[in-house]
Amino acid sequence: MTQNHFDIIVVGGGIAGSASALGLAQLGYSVAHMNPKPTTTHPNDTWDSRIYALSQSSVALLKRLHVWDALDTSRICPVSDMRVMGDINDDDVLRGSLHLSAYSSALPELAWIVEQRHIQTILDQALRFTPNVQRFDATATELIITDSEVRLSTSNEALQASLIVGADGANSWVRQSLGIETEVFDYQRFGVVANFSISQPHHNTAYQWFLSDGEVLALLPLPNQMVSMVYSCTKAHADIWCNAPSDALSAHIGQLSSHTLGSLTALSRAQSFPLKRQRAQHLVSQRALLISDAAHTMHPLAGQGLNLGLQDLTSLLDTLLESQASEPHRSIDDPVLLRRYERACATPTFEMQSVTHALQRLFASHHPIIRHARNMGMNVLDIIPPLKRRLIQQAMGHAPTEFK
C-alpha cells in the first residue's frame, strides 16, 4: 500500500537529493523521495565526463552515510598535488604559478576525483535498502504549505509531510513554488567537459591554466592514465569544441595545456553547460528548506560546487541530530531549527561564492596592470607556506585549527 504521510518530502534525484533522502532516513525520519533518477548501467570501460573533486569534508559525509566504502576504488583517483598557471603577459616574461601539495601540508590527499555517475549509483543502491524511504517517480505539480502540513501533488498522488527539502537543482521547482527569489550573475561562459587518455603520467596532479582571454582550463587526474577536462570558455568556443572531431579537440586542449601531459586522445564527445553564480535570497521558508544547487551555484574554477552542497547537508543533519539529543520537544519543521540551518550555511556559501567570483573576474580582466599583479600575486603566494596551507584547509572544508 502506498504511504501518503511522511515526516519529510525530498524533491530532487541528483546526488544532493539522494544523499539528503538517505541521511534524513538514517536519522529515523520517514522520507518521500521525489524524482529519483532511474538507475542505468554502463560498460565498465566507459567513464562519466562529469566528475567531482570531493573535499575531505565531503568524503566524511559519504562515510557518515555508509556509502564511501561501497565505491569502486579503481574508479577513484586521489589528488596529491595541484599546479595552477596564470596567463602569459605581453612581454612573455612573467607568468604566475602556484603549487599546492598534500605532502607539504601533512595531508594524505588534497581531494578525491570521482565520477558523478558512480556516486549516484551507490547512493541509489543504498536508498533501495533503506526501509523508511519511499520513491516516487511522478513529477510534482502543486505545492501547498499550510500551518499544519506540506501538501505535494502529482498527477496521481497526494503526499503530506511536516517538511519539504528542495534539492532539485539550479532551476529548482521547489524554490520557484515557494516564491523565493534568486540573485543571478551570468558569466557568459560555458563549462565544457570531456575525458582524455594521456601519453605522460599525471602523478595524481590536478592542473589548471588561467588563459589570457579569460578562459580557464583544468585537467583533473583519473585512474588508468586518463584525465578529465573542465574548460570554461565562451559559448562560441563551446559550440565549436562540442561539435569538433575528437582529434581536433585533442590537439586544441593539448596546445592550451602546453603539452604538459604529452599527447591527448579524446575518449568522449565534449558536453557543455552554462556557468552562473546564483544565490537564493532565503534558504528556508515555512516548513521548507533549500539545499545545494537549489540554494546556490558558482563558477567551477575552484571545483567546490558539490562540496558546498554536501556541506549544506552536513549542517542540516548536525542541526537535527543535536536537536534530537538535547531538544526532543522541537519538531522537524520548527522555525528555530530551520533558522539554525540557514545560519550554519550562510557564511560558507558567502565566502566560497565570493572567492570564486572574485577569481573569475580577476582573471577575466585584460588590463595589463591587473594581469601583471595577478601573476605576481600567485608567485608571492607560492613562496608563503602558511598562506598555502590555509588555502588548502579552507578548500577541504576545515578550519585551520583542525590541522596540526
Looking at residue 218, what is its pLDDT? Answer: 93
Burial 111-147 (b: 16+ CB within 10 A, else e): bbbbbbbbbbbbbbebbeeeeebbebeeebeebebee
Q: In the predicted model, is pLDDT for residue 199 greater than 90?
A: yes
Question: Mean pLDDT throughout 241-254?
Answer: 96
Positions of CATH 3.50.50.60 in the chain: 8-39+121-183+277-364
Give me the mean pLDDT over the 124-142 stretch.
92
Quote the mean pLDDT of the chain. Answer: 86
Give ranges for CATH 3.30.9.10 in the chain.
62-115+187-275+367-402
At 101, the pLDDT band (50, 70, 90 cuts) reads: confident
**Average pLDDT in the 214-223 region?**
92
The average pLDDT across 170-196 equals: 94
Region 186-214: mean pLDDT is: 91
- pLDDT exceeds cutoff 90 at 404: no
pLDDT for the residue 397: 53
pLDDT at 99: 81
- Per-residue confidence (pLDDT) for residue 243, from 0 to 100: 95
The residues with which 208 forms a beta bridge, in sequence order, are 84, 218
- pTM as predicted: 0.88
Within 10 angstroms of residue 34's Cβ, the number of other Cβ atoms is 29
Q: For the chain, give the percent of residues with pLDDT over 70.
A: 80
Nearest to 32 by CA among 122, 152, 120: 152
Q: What is the CATH number of domain 8-39+121-183+277-364?
A: 3.50.50.60
Q: Which whole number is the average pLDDT over 80-89? A: 79
As a whole number, mean pLDDT of residues 82-88 equals: 79
Q: Measure the CA–CA gap between 197 and 223, rounded to whole angstroms.
A: 10
The domain over range 62-115+187-275+367-402 is classified in CATH as 3.30.9.10: yes
Q: Is the pLDDT of residue 363 over 50?
A: yes
Cell (9 digits) for 12: 530532487
Instruction: List the beta bridge partners of residue 135.
Output: 33
The x, y and z cell numbers of residue 178, run together, are 515557494
pLDDT value of residue 305 = 80
Does residue 399 carry a pLDDT above 50?
no
Least confident of 167-176, 207-216, 246-255, 307-316: 207-216
Q: How large is the average pLDDT for residues 240-250?
A: 95
Alpha-carbon dihedral 261, 263, 269, 270, rounded to 10 degrees: 40
Stretch 300-317: mean pLDDT, rounded? 86
